Amino acid sequence: MKFLWDSALGLLVVTGGLLGLTLPFGKLATAAGVPAMVWAFIISFGAGGVLLCALLLNGERVRFSPHRLRYFFVTAAVSYAIPNLLMFSAIPHLGAGYTGIMFTLSPVITLVFSILLGVRRPNLLGVAGIAVGFVGAVMVAVTRGEAGQPAEFFWVLMGLLIPVSLAVGNIYRTVDWPEGTGPIELAVGSHLASATLLLAGILALFGVKAFAPLGGVPLVAAGQVASASAMFVFFFRLQAVGGPVYLSQIGYVAAAVGLFAGTIFLGEHYQLLTWAGAAIIVVGVFITTKAQSQTTTKAQSQAA
CA distance 80 to 201: 14
Of 161, 141, 26, 18, nearest in space to 82 by CA: 161
Indicate whether 215 belongs to any domain.
yes
301 belongs to a structural domain: no
Residue 2 lies in a domain: no
Q: Within 13 Å, how many C-alpha atoms sit on residue 70's CB side?
A: 9
Amino acid in position 187: A
**pLDDT at res. 155:** 93
Phi, psi for residue 58 in degrees, rounded to 5: -85, 5
CA–CA distance from 54 to each of 61, 69, 73, 80, 276 (Å)? Answer: 10, 21, 21, 20, 42
Q: Which long-range contacts (CB under 8 A, 24 or more apart) does 236-240 make?
A: 236/183, 236/184, 236/187, 237/5, 237/11, 238/8, 238/11, 238/12, 238/15, 239/183
Q: What are phi and psi of 246, to 5 degrees?
A: -65, -40
Structural domains of the chain, count: 1
**What distance in Å separates the CA atoms of residue 135 and residue 195, rounded to the nearest whole number?**
36
Residue 282, pLDDT score: 82
304 assigned to some structural domain: no
Residue 3 within any structural domain of the chain:
no
pLDDT (0 to 100) of residue 291: 74
186 and 178 Cβ atoms separated by less than 8 Å: yes
H or E stretch at 63: none
> How many other C-beta atoms lie within 10 A of the C-beta of residue 181?
16
User: Distance of alpha carbon 132 from its chain centroid, rounded?
Assistant: 21
Q: How many whole angstroms from its chain centre is CA 119? A: 21
73 in a domain, yes or no? yes
Average pLDDT, 10 consecutive residues per value, the chain (304 residues): 72 87 92 95 92 89 92 93 94 89 81 76 76 85 80 90 89 84 86 96 95 94 90 77 69 83 86 88 80 63 56
- Residue span of the structural domain in which 90 resides: 8-295
Cα separation of 235 and 246, whole Å?
11
pTM flag (> 0.95): no
Assigned domain for 300 exists: no
Is residue 302 in some structural domain?
no
Residue 177 identity:
W
